[in-house]
Structure 1
Amino acid sequence: MSALAKPGQDFPGLGVGLVIRRADGKVLVCRRLKAPEAGHWNIVGGKVDMMEQAEDAARREAEEETGLKIGKINFLCVIEGILEEEGQHWLSLIYVTDDFSGEPVLTEPEKHADLMWIDMNEPPAPLSVFSSQAFELLKSH
């Protein structure tokens, strides 16, 4: 494999996502500016770094992207996103938490256009593949 090979494009990438849920049931989403699914609303998350535990990556990405302090998280599911029109293929380990402190702030404006709390039953459009499947699973429990 080439040293310039890119995860998600040249081989399936490994990502994480974290559903951050408030006591009132609303969840935090961000509007992506970059592929995959640029322009879509998505839960926070990103790539797993080499030698990084996936759970640690989910916490790190959430804290970097929102400024929140994340406590205990729980594994929810694995979602495979094959986005043929974008030439992207990702496996994402999805986690959920109700344990966080602070107020979310848009800390990475180069990656996200906005952050907002939403009702999973009335999500904004377009909604990412990863968020859509995670929300359906959470609603069924």
Structure 2
Amino acid sequence: MTQDPQRPRVGCGAAILDAQGRILLVRRVKNPEADHWGVPGGKLDWGEAARTCAEREIQEELGVRITAGRVLAVTDMVADDYHWVAITYAADGFEGEPTIQEAHALHEWGWFALDALPAPLTAATRDAVAALRAT
């Protein structure tokens, strides 16, 4: 029996801003980047469009509906024990109040001003925030 070759994984998420310009962040349970704060999102499924993945994962994790807009950042995360590519979209608005729907994936969530972010941040979130600040 042959072993499947290692392959990069793809994660998709979105930067969601409220009316005050604060960003919605979640504190992750799982690796990579466990206990880091990041934009909500999750793993791309086979045959799924990346935008659809971001919208689905955010609804599954937080009960919030978004429409994924423009791409803010594409982040390569390569280490000895993982290889992920993270696509972060800007959310074109949102509906609903965040509540943790998947406690196995998220510790907590919060709204944060872009100049008062918690630490540590995920790599994808650092890239997304840099893109938001540049616009």
Per the normalisation by structure 2, the TM-score is 0.91
1:90-129 → structure 2 map (5 Å cutoff) = 90-129=84-123
Separation (CA, whole Å) in 1 of partners of 2:71 and 2:27: 23
Residue 56 (structure 2) pairs with residue 60 (structure 1):
yes
SS of the residue corresponding to residue 14 of structure 2 reads strand
Query: Offset of 1:11 from its aligned partner?
Result: 2.0
Structure 1: gaps of 5 or more residues: none
Separation (CA, whole Å) in 2 of partners of 1:76 and 1:29: 15
Which residue of structure 1 lines up, in the alignment, with residue 3 of structure 2? Answer: 2
Per the normalisation by structure 1, the TM-score is 0.88
Task: Give the aligned residue type for 2:15.
Answer: V
Structure 2: gaps of 5 or more residues: none
Q: Is the deviation greater in 74-83 or in 91-100?
A: 74-83
Q: For the aligned residues, what is the CA RMSD?
A: 1.6
Q: In the alignment, is the contact (CA less than 8 A) between 1:27 and 1:120 conserved in 2?
A: yes
Separation (CA, whole Å) in 1 of partners of 2:127 and 2:68: 22
Which residue of structure 2 lines up, in the alignment, with residue 31 of structure 1? Answer: 27
Q: Which aligned runs of 4 or more in structure 1 are off by greater than 4 angstroms? A: none
Aligned residue pair count = 134
